[in-house]
Amino acid sequence: MKIAHLEFPERPVFLSPMEDVTDIGFRLLCKRFGADMVYTEFISSDALIRDVKKTKAKILFGEEERPIGIQIYGSDPDAMVEAAKICEESDPDLIDINFGCPVKKIAGRGAGSGMMRTPEVMLEITEKVVKAVKKPVTVKTRLGWDDNSKIIVELAEQLQDCGIAALTVHGRTRAQMYKGEADWSLIGEVKNNPRMHIPIIGNGDVTTPELAKQRFDETGVDAVMIGRGSIGQPWFFEEVKHYLNTGDHLSKKSFHWYIDILKEQILQSVERTGELRGILHNRRHLAATPIFKGIPDFKSTRIALLRAETVEELFRIMDEIPEKYQVG
């Protein structure tokens, strides 16, 4: 499979761009465990052109992360063009436009999946960004605004006509947010539309290796993008790739091995952003990681993990878990 000049193996698996999740440390681990492409956290075009320091930091990445996409969002065509040009200076492998984020502070202002209510503006932004940069431009979007306006099949053709190099479709409407089940039937309809010739990437509820294979088999998508299913388990990509290649599940590692990976992830964040910020950034991963699921009477320890404010305190709690709960 190819996106512009980028070549990928058969059935590639991508890391979805996620705010406060896909920082450099997490991306590097996901790459190590087999993610075929990663993306930055999504970046506000307005903040980027205002030269906001925190936002500018999000477009930084290492060579070992390639191929990598920088994702931007916004509702003003001129601001999106300017932001895309700034991103291009960082030399990513592609620039991705976010027309899919459903959160109120973004969609409510007409950006992200808010664009599903103004597809003409979405197409204007896409066409202008494509013309403004030399890097391949891709788009990530949803099925529509709500159940009464699932416009993705027609919209996909129009986005393709704007010159994008690939399209990612999340199988929900904006109204669904992240509730209910992702509908992959419409993703398959987009992929199997004979008028579509760009790669189609499916996204939504890929939480097991079996589901990844099922999505490829049933829809024929060119790639699968994994978002929330990877939070707290960067090794999930290795499990998915192994299952796709062999049909068998990868053998489980020791509890200590998973703890060590999470520690490494925390330390990478701390090194780049400082102790407290690095810990705060990883609380979502600690809350979501499946390695603590099923441990009886774990609530007090979970609370302690999420309240720890120093690496020493956090790692002490993590180190005590195997003996305290007899997990190995």
Q: Exposure string (b/e) for 50-62, b if CB count within 10 Å is 16 or more?
A: eeeeebeebbebe
Asked if the bond preceding 234 is cis, omega within 30° of 0, the reply is: no
Distance in angstroms (rounded) separating the CA atoms of residues 286 and 295: 14
Write the DSSP assignment of 51-81 as a string of letters: T-HHHHHTT---GGG-SEEEEEE-S-HHHHH
Distance in angstroms (rounded) separating the CA atoms of residues 288 and 229: 9
The catalytically annotated residue of 30, 87, 101, 162 is 101
Question: In which residue are the tokens 């994008």 written?
Answer: 164
Is 162 catalytic? The answer is no
Token readout for 281 is 């950034």
Instruction: Give me Rg for the CA atoms of the chain.
Output: 20
Which residues are tagged catalytic?
101
